[in-house]
Structure 1
């Protein structure tokens, strides 16, 4: 179509997670290491690429170096990648980098009210590379905004559980759990079981719906039976309309992997988050959404595995990944969610829902018009 045709890359993650993928040329670093026999150390190029991507610090080794990301707390380099769903897909990342270097700009489905530091920082960074950034905001259908007409979940079991929870425990009493369509902490099934066991043994019940929406997601049959017999939870091994469920007045919290689609669907409804990162940019999302001065999430740390075990800079915790310590963290998180801390996070999430809607017809709309004229 000629050089006048503009090409743009759609980035459906926070702007703050873009920069660590743009700071270094991972493929170029790996090729340089591979070309030196002393640095190659018998590894294949593919192995080196994998290690360079996992380090994401300009080398092929995690070193405990401090990483600074716009709008998120500083963290050690080993905290930036999650391994609960497996190792990062290095080939996907390097091909994405190649594409990102060739386009004229980026469309990001975020907004400055959500990322007051991340959006301007990314816009400045890419402008220096001759690329534009369009932050078009969060754009769901009008039905899915907080004060719209609610769309009820279609499954009778889900509706009945939610309606019963309102009667027994009140509005915003239910915890919704989902790790999305593409992720699940398959590397730590013992911690997923510990999560459910903790919910079943709380002194004051925290009713929950656990959606097993992805192909990787599963729970032991005996645990599913325990949940069903308890009356405290509902395991959904069938499709659940997540946005409709989040609109129901019974739901007050969302325990999620921190994928940005789920984050957006929750925040447009003013529902705060408990985040268990399992892959991709999710550790970064968890860090910036739980950071002061206006946190909207509780970040879980003791659920991590692999290279993430060890010291955490932004939590001052030593991450062990054991069932005992993770169970203690679950209990502390649930107590916080239903206490004074939770009230602050709920208020912040509700304010954000209003801000996102206002920005949709404000600055985000201006960004869409700017994109049209690009």
Structure 2
């Protein structure tokens, strides 16, 4: 049978790349006639190859094309270089070859795909299908991609002098994309996110990394362009974890003539094996020694690992972060706090004197740079994960049986916090007193039982409560629930998710009547 080719454009964001790496391994193993091309910025290629090196797949049927320059700047960021690089690579892919024929399907990440969709469809033609890569849960996908057309909302406000209210174009954009509710401000109205508890509109946001309008604008515009023009969607979720959302979205998108592929949570295959003995070493000697010392002195599950991912850092009020670390120092919880290089250089980031003071205690370790997160979560000393709540981090923690503490920073993370701290089997605490700006206000789920102020004093009181409860009966319940959810993920991977992966491997080649399931 002739080769079937799927090409993918990924952003230079590890949380978007690593789940696709493991999905691509499954796709290649599901269809021996499939070949895959991944296009990303050059600086991601080495890290991608390192991840592929520990996977089992036919490497001859996968190629990675790096684009962009070795250097970049704020005026010419990696994403813009990637978009230009895709414009050069796409015509070559469209011409094809016997081993790498013209792709039957193109997968575009939601963060950058909107910028190239029109050009891509023109180059490849209608016979090549297009899909959105959504490396997150499905519930926020609907809200971010489908629910609102923010460009149309902006045009409405800009054209009406009364609605515009004297604001500049930039300010109006910030207000509309920051509100993310179809209006130009947060109103406190009740909103529904599919499959989760109802919340106030400001609870769907996070101002921890500053006003969200500047970040949301390119994401929401790109996402909605894709939503209106693609043939389908890929989400790293399944009915095993979103039993209400996935069936609803299948019906919704099918009615629009689009397909939904719920391929399940994605990380290394061996983490889905029950009782697997697969171990990834902590290669950083400083981190390894700290973990070993914590285990020797305090035993299993004694340490908290803190990371806000490679992109986010709560700069809106770094006094909250300092208070968190000082509270941990005063407790019996040793901790490793991984601060991305990006966060370290942000205005308002932790000072060198503060970092030096913490590290001098020997009770906590602040490290700036990239670390092997799975290896740290695997270590017997690690008992809790304080995280921004990105889906990649959640997946890794759940499969390793590590309950979480959520400090959401942006995009879908507040919705994830609601989802995984609610319902019959919650697996995490959610920090509420770290809210800032327009996000401060009552929680609809908690009613009047918690007054959210966002002050450092109330944040410290909440930290103390959470750390105490983590070591008590509530913490044990969350840990047990984490194992329960992990079992559901493993089962879902063998059933519904596997069916969708097999469908996806053939997408674009199949007859339309079959592909539109």
The TM-score range, normalised by the shorter chain, is over 0.9
Alignment partner of 1:258 out of 386, 389, 399: 389
Partner of 2:200: 76
Distance 2:141 2:157 in 1: 25
Q: Are positions 1:148 and 2:277 aligned together? A: yes
Aligned residue for 2:392, secondary structure, equals: helix
Aligned residue for 1:106, secondary structure, equals: strand
- 62-71 or 180-189, which deviates more: 62-71
- The Cα RMSD (Å) is 1.6
Partner of 1:246: 377
Alignment partner of 1:310 out of 438, 441, 460: 441
Q: Report the CA distance between 1:173 and its aligned residue.
A: 1.3
Q: Report the CA distance between 1:287 and its aligned residue.
A: 0.5
Residue segments in structure 2 that go unaligned for 5+ positions in a row: 1-123, 508-517
Q: Are positions 1:26 and 2:125 aligned together? A: no
Q: Residue deviations 1:18-61, cap 9 Å, x none?
A: 12221121110110121112212222344333322222222212
Alignment partner of 2:191 out of 67, 89, 93: 67
Q: Residue deviations 1:64-104, cap 9 Å, x none?
A: 11011122221111111111112222133112211221111
Higher relative contact order (CA 8 A, sep 6+): 1
Partner of 1:365: 498
TM-score, structure 1 as length reference: 0.95
Q: Residue deviations 1:156-176, cap 9 Å, x none?
A: 111111112112211111100
* Contact kept in structure 1, 2:341 and 2:368, CA below 8 Å: no
Q: Are positions 1:328 and 2:451 aligned together? A: no
Partner of 1:284: 415
Q: Report the CA distance between 1:142 and its aligned residue.
A: 2.7
Aligned residue for 1:226, secondary structure, equals: helix
* Contact kept in structure 2, 1:107 and 1:133, CA below 8 Å: yes
Partner of 2:83: none
Q: Are positions 1:231 and 2:362 aligned together? A: yes
Partner of 2:305: 176
Q: Report the CA distance between 1:214 and its aligned residue.
A: 4.1
Q: Residue deviations 1:311-346, cap 9 Å, x none?
A: 221233332111100000001111111111111111
**Cα gap change, 1:35 to 1:110, in 2 (>3 Å):** same
Partner of 2:139: 16
Q: Report the CA distance between 1:248 and its aligned residue.
A: 1.0
Partner of 1:200: 329
Distance 2:301 2:139 in 1: 30
Q: Residue deviations 1:111-164, cap 9 Å, x none?
A: 221212222222223223221110101232234446232111101111111112
Aligned residue for 2:337, secondary structure, equals: strand
Distance 2:237 2:413 in 1: 15
Aligned length: 372
- Say which structure is richer in helix: 2
Distance 1:246 1:80 in 2: 28
Query: Which one has a bigger Cα radius of gyration?
Result: 2
